[in-house]
Structure 1
Amino acid sequence: MSAMLGKALVSDKISKISKGLGIDDEKEEEENHLSSADLKKMKQEDLKKEEEKKKREEMQAKRRAERSARRDEIRDKYGLEKKESDTKKTNTMEKKPATKTQIEDKKDDDKCCVM
């Protein structure tokens, strides 16, 4: 703790001296020299990035839905049961209430333990 306190004091003293001599961080100087046109350009780039991200997320959601529908078709065609991992991945399916056998299986799993 004393090391952290000493470091804080030393860094504070150095920053005060550097400010007095006019030797500040370059980042602060760059931020102060940005014109309004540069700021507008940066904001436009940020908005463009956000729009692209939103568009990608929408496309991914659409693909996930299509894949889920395709998996459902395959399950229906071959009479397969839905796995729990599929519902976790898609998050679009509604949770069905647990059946009595599922509840009993969970109780049995709770009783079993390895020492």
Structure 2
Amino acid sequence: MFLTPSQGSGVLQFTIHEGADQSLLAKSALPVNQWTHVAVTLEGNTGKLYVNGEEVAVNDRITFNPKELLTSEVYLGKSRFAADAYFNGSLDEVQIYNKALTAEEIRALSEL
């Protein structure tokens, strides 16, 4: 499982791998030289990716649950592919919840 700011085509990507990639791909790159709030929610088979409180990707075919991961390959700021760039910045805070936050909760967190 990984969250990378710039995969092969230069856009933000969240992927969980279970035999095949199940991904959320933003339509554009992350803004540079500014703080940016990024959130991923997984509920049922639906994954959502948010940037600064706005939904930027949805996939309703995410069938793998992160709590079932049996690997140490979990990355923030890079992918599992050597050719993809590493995140060049700072992470201010990382939070993991035991439920999927609503769009309103994500928006409120992005405004803090």
Task: Give TM class, smaller chain.
Answer: under 0.3
TM (norm. structure 1) is 0.18
Between 1 and 2, higher relative CO (CA 8 Å, sep ≥ 6) is seen in: 2
The answer to which structure has the higher helix fraction is 1
Work out which of the two has the higher radius of gyration on C-alpha atoms and give 1 or 2. Answer: 1
The answer to which structure has the higher strand fraction is 2
